[in-house]
Structure 1
Amino acid sequence: MPQGSQGDAKRGYEPGKFLILLVASAVSSLIMLDSNIVAVSLPAIARSLGATFTDIEWVVSAYVLTFSALLLAAGSFADRHGRKRATLIGLAIFTVASALCGFATSSLMLNLARALQGVGASLLLTASMAVINKTFSGADRARAYGFWGACLGIAITSGPIAGGVITDFFGWRWAFLLNLPVGIVFLVATAKVFKESRDHEAKRLDLGGIATFSTSLFLLIWGLIDGNSLGWTSFAIAWRLLASVVLFVAFVAIEVRQERPMIDFTLFKQPTFLGTAFAMLGYAGAAQVMIFYLPLALQNSYGFTPAKAGLAMLPFALPMFFTPRLGASLSARYSSRALLTLGLATTFVGDLSLFLFSRIDASYGVFALGMVALGAGAGLLNSETSKAMQGAVPPQRSGMASGLTSTTRFTGLLLAVAGLGAALSSSATRHFLTAASALGLDPKSAAEAAPRIASGDLVGAFTNLPDSIRVHLLSAASTSFAAGFGLACLVAAIVAAVTGMLTFVLFQRPARASAPDAPTAGHLVQPME
């Protein structure tokens, strides 16, 4: 932790409160640090387990799926059964799941363990944020979120570097196994420091809502990820997408009849809240998702090692850390409508730049300029969207507030991982099959190699081929991945443009002020950015 922030916190808080803040911040940072470490490790995982791009998508999606699907339920669980208990349970699940990930012998085992890890992470995030909301109020709460955001900001910048170093020198399994000692330390600290708190008005868990929402989300993502391989018009994809829609309609029907629903759908009747939701979806689908795809591009297109790719992520990560502080000063002069539109416009510029740079085979120095713009846009969006949405929910339902804020974002992230992945995979495969045919590779061998191109296993895809053709195929594979990544960036730019216009139109009044006890714009940094 930064010594200045720690010293200021100690001087300003009541005895014991700083320890609570410190543990809550560390627990939240663990979630985001782990996700950033894993992002850099994906090509190494693909090579080690012989995974296809679909398998690699599930390494990310299995975690985000359970995480996002259960955030609202986790918030309700924390409100009803206690925030300290929820944190301890979440830590136990996350630690055990990390061990299973580290010892996985197949992509299926890894993905199932990642899904379990997401369950634990959903409890950790909502409970730790609710503990902060309960422990602090007024100006102290804003300052507490300032420290919390600084801790997560450090994890943002250090995560890719740590992931690259761990993968290069110890192997990708240690990206998960290191969570074991850390998890045990956090369990002890939480048990000693946290005080139990509940929402005494909380009702029982909405099991019907949990089941319909999570199953709907799973079927939608399952259909999007398998669409390229099975065919978008196939029966297998059609029934998944149709069932997803039916279950979501059922979820809405269940929630509108609840006295205290997981999602208060009346909030979406407020234009400003709806504009915030679109901005949040734009942030997730156009900027945050690149946390997972940029490391793949740096390793597959530029040939960087994991450690070098981690360092090469800094032009994206550093602006995400510093821009919220710029947003804090801008929020005193400009409305949330202006800042969110500016954030999405900057994100659009970043994504479009990466698309163009991928097409012209630009050097890394030029490519990094697009990463800077993308990171700056993400930083602005993160702070403003969180402030607006947190302030729209009654403070006594702090668990639901943090769950609602994050569920909107991570549902968008999940859809973006699957949607951009489909664009990347289809384009990379198409370009590679054309290039492989021109090089004389038989169609069967080319078709077998293509799924491993997008996943980053470029060497493994051509193991059994003669050296004379392997060098040319490796070059074709790298170029094909760059084409696929470029298309994904173009789709992301379109998402930023559309959500930016919707945000600008729907915000009907300035929304500068935070709710009295809500974190301020420059202080709030969300996990997994």
Structure 2
Amino acid sequence: MSEHRDSARYILATASATCALIVLDTNVVAVSLPSIARTFQASFADVEWVVSAYMVAFASCLLPAGGLADRFGRKRMLLLGLAVFFLASLGCGLAPSAALLDLARAAKGVGAAMLLTAALAVIANTFHEGPERIRAWAVWGTCMGLATTVAPLVGGVITQWLGWRWIFLLNLPVCAVLAASASRFIKESRNPAAGPIDAAGSALFGLALALGIWALIEAPAAGWASWLTGARLSAAALLLVGFIQVQRLRAHAMVDLALFRQPRFVAAVLAMFGYAACAQVMMTFLPLYLQNAFGLSAIAAGLGMLPFALAMVAGPYLGAALARQVSSMTLLSAGLLLIGAGNLLTARVAGAASYGLVALGMVTTGLGAGLLNGDTQKAIMAYVPRNRTGMASGISTTTRFTAIVTSVGVLGAVLAARTKAAFYARPEVTPAIRRTLDTDFLSRVLAGDIAQASLHLPPAVRASLAGAAHASFASGFAAALYLAAAAAAMIAVAVRWLANRASEEAPAHVSGCTPSREPS
């Protein structure tokens, strides 16, 4: 028995550390974006693609990766994912151009999808039920919180002291250690009844997501009313409809659509989407805001993110205390309302140049995010049978990262549009000065490269434009946060409505899995 417990601990440590590596790598890059922009003289759209190329590939591959883990073995997929992640990290660290960096980031997203779904399935398959399972997910959640906490500071330190390339190159020894640990401690497991791989569904979903994000990122330049933006969005919608139709017709689909007939399951997925779209996405935009609006260095921006990250670590403890008093659905709604309130507060004070007030908003948003991080994961996994844990982890993580990448596109477009309008409305930006600015000036300012973008201007003009750019970016950031706050509030209402609807229906049994019986 003692040997079994020791083995389980090593398995949990390896799988949780693997997930933490993904979270760390996902969040650590944001602090380095201005440095990457300066290296490649990149525009704001180019910088968005450094995040989005990874996220699109990641989210597109999560569902098929979950199915592959069930079919071919979770340990095998974990080791293969580590190999892909290792090689892609090397490619990112050595990339000679922004385009090649984006390609390496996309390959890294594929490896990350294989890693995350396999690791989550290993945990779910090893710890079956009762207190053991609860403790396992608590350990996993703690690892995620710690990775989220240290990511901005780690990114800032590495970027400022070693250079942004080392953010990727330092993954290499970590991958080697995790591969050795997985080979030794994790036992192979798979779903013996797994069906054929859904290649058509995988391609349709991936293309739909990529086209949709492409449309959102390029819309500020192409125009929201342009035929090009409309064509991309329409094609994405048609591909998504095709994906749903394929899932309906296939006997062994990647997604069991019957699950979406359960209001509680839909509420859990919706809460996960809201949490990621309205809170986790701030890990991308907050570092840009702190560096652009306050003029902070990479390390200072990383330190400035700590109130948000530390609140995310404290959030689960708040959730555990509330869980003794309220139902899980009420908890999900409360977390979303906290996120909405935090975003609203931060938006209200974004232009006040007061870090203390901004930090208060970060803490509020972080508490809501921490409250939802583990609870949404558990709620989704609870509705899927053990032999399809790969599918469950695929649904959960696909929802999370699809929400992030969609939100990066939408909020990034709002941020860019509002910043541009605010900048050209500033009194410092006279018609004479405006004529001296390059066509991509503001795009490079958004990416954090104002020093290079204004290098050709006289010193006095540069100083004046820097102040205007900082204030304008704060205005754009606030506009994006107002939208995120409204979205979080609406999703909280939807989750509450679905919970009320579930309480009026008889308990459903889907795919041999019994949903939670706690009151709504």
Relative to the length of structure 1, the TM-score reads 0.92
Partner Cα distance (1:136, 1:193) in 2: 15
Q: Does 1:74 align with 2:73?
A: no
- Other-structure match for 2:241: 249
Contact 2:68–2:197 (CA<8 Å) still a contact in 1? yes
In structure 2, what residue type is equivalent to 1:267?
Answer: L
In structure 1, what residue type is equivalent to 2:18?
Answer: V
C-alpha deviation, 1:437, in angstroms: 3.4
In structure 1, what residue type is equivalent to 2:346?
Answer: L
- Other-structure match for 2:402: 411
C-alpha deviation, 1:14, in angstroms: 2.1
Change (3 A) 1:443 1:66: same
- Other-structure match for 1:176: 168
Contact 2:429–2:465 (CA<8 Å) still a contact in 1? no
Contact 1:428–1:453 (CA<8 Å) still a contact in 2? no
1:207-243 superposed Cα distances (whole Å, 9 cap, x missing partner): 0000101001111110011001011122221211111
The 10-residue stretch of structure 1 (312-321 or 323-332) with the greater mean CA deviation from structure 2: 323-332
- Other-structure match for 1:3: none
Give matches, 1:58-137, under 5 Å: 58-137=49-128
In structure 2, what residue type is equivalent to 1:132?
Answer: I
Give matches, 1:34-53, under 5 Å: 34-53=25-44
From 412, 422, 440, give the equivalent of 1:421: 412
The 10-residue stretch of structure 1 (341-350 or 188-197) with the greater mean CA deviation from structure 2: 188-197
Partner Cα distance (1:499, 1:413) in 2: 15
Contact 2:216–2:413 (CA<8 Å) still a contact in 1? yes
Q: Does 1:200 align with 2:192?
A: yes
Deviation beyond 4 Å, 4+ runs, structure 1: 10-13, 515-518
Change (3 A) 1:443 1:392: farther
Contact 2:67–2:254 (CA<8 Å) still a contact in 1? yes
Contact 1:288–1:413 (CA<8 Å) still a contact in 2? yes
Give matches, 1:211-360, under 5 Å: 211-359=203-351
From 131, 141, 148, give the equivalent of 1:156: 148
In structure 2, what residue type is equivalent to 1:247?
Answer: L
**Which blocks of at least 5 consecutive residues in structure 2 are unaligned?**
none
C-alpha deviation, 1:407, in angstroms: 0.9
Secondary structure of 2:450's match?
coil
The 10-residue stretch of structure 1 (116-125 or 45-54) with the greater mean CA deviation from structure 2: 45-54
1:96-130 superposed Cα distances (whole Å, 9 cap, x missing partner): 11111111121111111111000000000010111
Give matches, 1:378-527, under 5 Å: 378-435=369-426, 437-438=429-430, 440-443=432-435, 445=437, 447-508=439-500, 509=502
1:307-361 superposed Cα distances (whole Å, 9 cap, x missing partner): 11111111100111111122123212201221111111111110111111013x2
Partner Cα distance (2:464, 2:294) in 1: 16
Partner Cα distance (1:408, 1:17) in 2: 28
The 10-residue stretch of structure 1 (430-439 or 279-288) with the greater mean CA deviation from structure 2: 430-439
Partner Cα distance (2:431, 2:357) in 1: 30
Partner Cα distance (1:517, 1:200) in 2: 18
RMSD between aligned residues: 2.1
In structure 2, what residue type is equivalent to 1:71?
Answer: L
1:361-390 superposed Cα distances (whole Å, 9 cap, x missing partner): 241011100000000111122232222111
1:159-197 superposed Cα distances (whole Å, 9 cap, x missing partner): 111111111100111001101111122222222222111
Contact 1:337–1:510 (CA<8 Å) still a contact in 2? no
- Other-structure match for 2:356: 365
Contact 1:225–1:421 (CA<8 Å) still a contact in 2? yes
Change (3 A) 1:161 1:479: same
Secondary structure of 2:442's match?
helix
- Other-structure match for 1:28: 19
Contact 2:205–2:239 (CA<8 Å) still a contact in 1? yes
Secondary structure of 2:296's match?
coil
Contact 2:265–2:379 (CA<8 Å) still a contact in 1? yes
Contact 1:336–1:510 (CA<8 Å) still a contact in 2? no
Partner Cα distance (1:149, 1:219) in 2: 32
C-alpha deviation, 1:439, in angstroms: 7.0
Contact 2:383–2:513 (CA<8 Å) still a contact in 1? no
Relative to the length of structure 2, the TM-score reads 0.94
Partner Cα distance (1:418, 1:263) in 2: 25
Partner Cα distance (1:418, 1:157) in 2: 24
Secondary structure of 2:433's match?
coil
Secondary structure of 1:437's match?
coil
C-alpha deviation, 1:13, in angstroms: 5.4
Partner Cα distance (2:268, 2:124) in 1: 21
- Other-structure match for 1:6: none
1:264-323 superposed Cα distances (whole Å, 9 cap, x missing partner): 122222222222222222111111110110011111111111111111111100111111
**Which blocks of at least 5 consecutive residues in structure 1 are unaligned?**
1-9, 521-529
Query: Structure with the greater relative contact order (CA < 8 A, sep ≥ 6): 1 or 2?
Result: 1
Partner Cα distance (1:474, 1:446) in 2: 15
C-alpha deviation, 1:134, in angstroms: 1.6
The 10-residue stretch of structure 1 (362-371 or 261-270) with the greater mean CA deviation from structure 2: 261-270
Partner Cα distance (1:241, 1:517) in 2: 36
Change (3 A) 1:337 1:22: closer
In structure 2, what residue type is equivalent to 1:231?
Answer: G
Secondary structure of 1:262's match?
coil
From 166, 170, 183, give the equivalent of 1:191: 183
Contact 1:157–1:321 (CA<8 Å) still a contact in 2? yes
Secondary structure of 2:163's match?
coil
Partner Cα distance (1:366, 1:252) in 2: 44
Change (3 A) 1:485 1:205: same
Partner Cα distance (1:343, 1:365) in 2: 23
